[in-house]
Amino acid sequence: MLRRSVRLGFVLLATGAGLILGAAERAPVRGGANSATIVAARPAAPTVEQGEIDGAKFTIARPVRWNHRLLLLAHGLRAESSPLVADLFPEHLAYKTLLDEGWIVAKTSYRRNGLIVADAIADLDALRAYIARADGEPERVLVEGESMGGLIATLIAERTPDYDAQGHPAYTGAVAIGAALSVREPNSTLGLSLHPKIPVIFLTNQSELEGPQKYVESFRPQDRSDIRPVLFRVSRSGHVNVNQRERLAALHALVAWIDEGREKLPRPPEGQNVFDATVRPAPQPSQVARQPDGRGFTAQVIEVSAGYGNLFINAQPADFEAAGIRPMVWFQLKVGEKTFRVRYGRDFDSVKRGEWVVFPNADGFTWLARNLGDAAGSAGLKLGDAVTLRRYDNAASSGAGSAETGER
């Protein structure tokens, strides 16, 4: 069963960290006896449609003029207790660029959370079919998947392609980011054949190269050399720890491969078989409000990850340094009347389960999270809220050995 709801013409407002949704600006103009309201000129925004197909929620972002190309997004593993959300961010650089180029970008929540592979593929197929009925058959369809979604994208790439009446394959390529290739769905016969039928690029952090590298190296000489899968390494540890420019570069490389041939792919250095796709973010002017005594600052929540409750704040490493908040020490997080104890770490595993942590993300800003917990829910935070981060007044409170973690 399909339920549709359409939300049209949102405006993208630029910030230093990216783009946020907002309303069109209107300025009253008065002159003599006449008055008028002028709507500030802005680039035409994409339209966003939200709905549901067979229990799976979807979000579709459509450009002003479609180029008959479609990007479908496959998300990773989510807790079974989390709400179903098709959390598409059209303002993110990679997707905004594709939308500006004329692509449709769409995402499904899948029909349920938890470990889901076969049904997730069916939900992606259903979303693709819905878009084809509503907008016409696309000429190019890419799948971008993260973690478990990377496995799903790879499995789609391994299927024998279906073709439409114009001879276009149902899917033409895949980007698998941090692909969890070892995941197996219980009671399922679906598994990897290691032989993709369409081009695949694995975009992988240096700490997780083993699985994708083995997949790429397993490609047999008798298979079609023009679709031999490709591995892009990101010289940064973590899981799906890639930034928007790295993601966009992989998508553009895949499009060039499909449109113009494998020779258009970037080449690894001589003597290496992996291309380094790392793009290091350039520091930006500080966006935080520093406290008068220099011991802290106030930042803003600029993204909340659906299903996890992790928060993206517009603080940069230089902001922590200026406040004297050093790596691997604890500091105070103030949200209204609540105070939490947070560690400035390297990743989620810098703290125990349930403890609070901040660490730099691949785009140069900061994640604020609880390890295996819901930071947004715990602190009652939402997009646009302010948070204050402050160094403790004494060294004992900030010691790395303390086990104290909760709200005060």
Q: What is the pLDDT of residues 353-368, one digit of tens each?
A: 999 999 999 999 999 9
What angle, 0 to 180 degrees and rounded to 10, lies between the N-to-C axes of helices 93-101 and 244-260?
40
CA distance 355 to 301: 19
Q: How many residues does the chain have?
A: 408
For 222, the token pair is: 């008798």
Q: Residue 9: is its pLDDT beyond 60? A: no
Domains along the chain with CATH numbers = 2-27+36-276 (3.40.50.1820), 289-390 (2.40.30.90)
Torsion sign across C-alpha atoms 99, 101, 102, 107: negative
Per the CB < 8 A criterion, the answer to whether 124 and 152 are in contact is yes
The whole-angstrom separation of Cα 359 and Cα 348 is 8
The whole-number average pLDDT for the span 3-14 is 36
Section 118-142 average pLDDT: 97
Q: Do 126 and 56 touch, CB atoms closer than 8 A?
A: yes
Q: Which helix (H) or strand (E) holds 249?
A: helix 244-260
Average the pLDDT over each of 41-45, 193-197, 234-238 and give the range with the smallest value: 41-45
Contact between 188 and 122 (Cβ < 8 Å):
no
Exposed, middle or buried by CB within 10 Å (0-12, 13-18, 19+), for 96? buried
Q: What is the pLDDT of residue 273?
A: 78
Q: Is 9 helix (H, G, I), strand (E, B) or coil?
A: coil
In sequence order, what are the residues at sequence separation of 6 or more whose Cβ sits closer than 8 angstroms to the Cβ of residue 317? 360, 364, 366
pLDDT, one tens digit per residue, over 303-320 is 998 778 999 999 999 999
114 secondary structure, DSSP code: S
Q: Assess whether pLDDT exceeds 80 at residue 125.
A: yes
Tell me how crowded residue 342 is: count the other CB atoms within 10 A of its CB: 24
The pLDDT of 250-275, averaged and rounded, is: 92
pLDDT of residue 401 exceeding 80: no
Q: Tell which phi-psi region holds residue 314, choosing left (phi > 0), alpha (psi between -120 and 50) or beta.
A: alpha
368 closest CA partner among 244, 355, 85? 355
Are residues 296 and 390 in contact, defined by beta-carbon separation less than 8 angstroms?
yes
User: Tens of pLDDT along 206-250?
Assistant: 999 999 999 999 987 666 778 999 999 999 988 999 999 999 999
What tokens appear for 182 in the block?
């070892």
Quickly count helices (H) and strands (E) in the chain: 7, 22
Look up residue 273 and give its two tokens.
Answer: 């078989």
Q: Which residues contact 373 (CB under 8 A, 6 or more apart)?
A: 309, 353, 354
- Structure confidence by residue, pLDDT tens digits, 97-121: 999 999 999 999 999 999 999 999 9
Instruction: Report the pLDDT value the prediction gives residue 19, as an integer from 0 to 100.
Output: 36
> pLDDT value at position 13?
32
- pLDDT > 70 in the chain, percent: 85
Are 366 and 312 a contacting pair, CB within 8 Å?
yes
Q: CA nearest 297: which of 269, 277, 273, 321?
A: 321
Supply 12's token pair. Answer: 């993208």
Q: For residue 13, what are the β-bridge partners?
A: 20
φ, ψ for residue 158 (rounded to 5)? -85, -10
Least confident of 3-7, 12-16, 97-101: 12-16
Does residue 404 carry a pLDDT above 50?
A: no
Query: By CB neighbour count within 10 A (0-12 exposed, 13-18 middle, 19+ buried), where does 380 fall?
Result: exposed
Residue 69's alpha-carbon distances to 72, 99, 330, 364, 402, in angstroms, are 10, 10, 47, 30, 53
- Do strands 69-74 and 104-108 pair parallel, antiparallel, or not at all (unpaired)? parallel
